Amino acid sequence: MYLRSIKIGSVITENNIFLAPLAGYTNYAFRRVCKESGAGLCYTEMVSAKGLKYGSENTQELLYTDEHEGLTAAQIFGNEPDTMRAACEHEKLAPFPVVDINMGCPVPKIYKNGEGSALLENPALAEQIVKECVKSGKIITVKFRIGITDKKLIAAEFAKRMEGAGASLITVHGRTKDKIYAGEVNYKELAAAKNAVKIPVIANGGVFSFADAEKLLNETGADGVMVARAALFDPQIFCELTGRERISKRELFERQTAWTRERCDERFTTVFMRKMAAFYVKGERGAAAFKERLFSAQTPDEVLGIAKEIWG
């Protein structure tokens, strides 16, 4: 597979294999694990522009980063241009040179609020949001879907609008909003978006292996790929895609637990790492029994003890 750096405005990524923003998962510790496994760029969880405006403690915690993490992009969502620009200018986004605007989230609550994928139906507002955010001085990128339904596919048209509004890169999820995360990826629409613009285009959807990523690049001509759910089951998929050497699953899990523990309380660490262990163990012999034990663990040390039994 063709690996290369990507120039996004004034910044250059290590490679063209990115980690998608995943609500509830792409926190500091998980991003660090993926970055060390080879991800060229990682994104924060989706952050509410209004949450930043009104000083939500939880929203601000989602934006924690440090020098160990390296280049990271923040992703924000909202539908008010002024509020979105203010979010870009917020002190909590100061460590992030790249800010991505979510225009693809299919979750009903987000969509009904006129945010996320709802902006695909209001391209004029989407353009206005990007134009305002660019004024903040941040490098602005946009992540969107190919349409709401298959009856109206808008990848190329929307890509042109985002480029015209000042976006420095776009990521296109090759499914429509109504498909959520299921169904076939539409390579034709992804290729149309790539051919419509001069800025870099990252293709997203259906990457669970080296072969998947290679096909996505070959079929669409995209500049890079974005990995989402596959990273939850195996963060070292980035090793597979970039040629880095894997470490043991036990060592990986211990690192993620330690980094989560540094930032979060014992309860959050326990609950979060139980979920991660359940992802990691999928497909292994005795997985069901281990999951049952994992979800009865009450401390991070108990979770680690069970993980050691699983992976030796």
- Collapsed DSSP state (helix, strand, coil) of residue 26: coil
DSSP letter, residue 116: G
306: left (phi over 0), alpha (psi -120 to 50) or beta: alpha
Give me the catalytic one of 105, 133, 239, 264: 105
The DSSP symbol for 97 reads S
According to DSSP, residue 153 is labeled B
3-state secondary structure of 159: helix
The token pair that represents 269 in the structure block: 């660490």
Please tell me the distance from the alpha carbon of residue 233 to that of residue 19, in angstroms, as a whole number: 13
Q: What is the dihedral of CA 250, 251, 252, 256, to 10 degrees?
A: 100
Whole-angstrom distance, CA of residue 104 vs CA of residue 295: 32
Q: State phi, psi for 259 to the nearest 5 degrees.
A: -70, -35
| Residue 239 a catalytic site member | no
Closest CA to 202 of 16, 2, 15: 16
Task: Decide: residue 124, CB within 10 A, 0-12 exposed, 13-18 middle, 19+ buried.
Answer: exposed
Distance CA 252, CA 269 (A): 15
Question: Any idea which residues carry the catalytic annotation?
Answer: 105
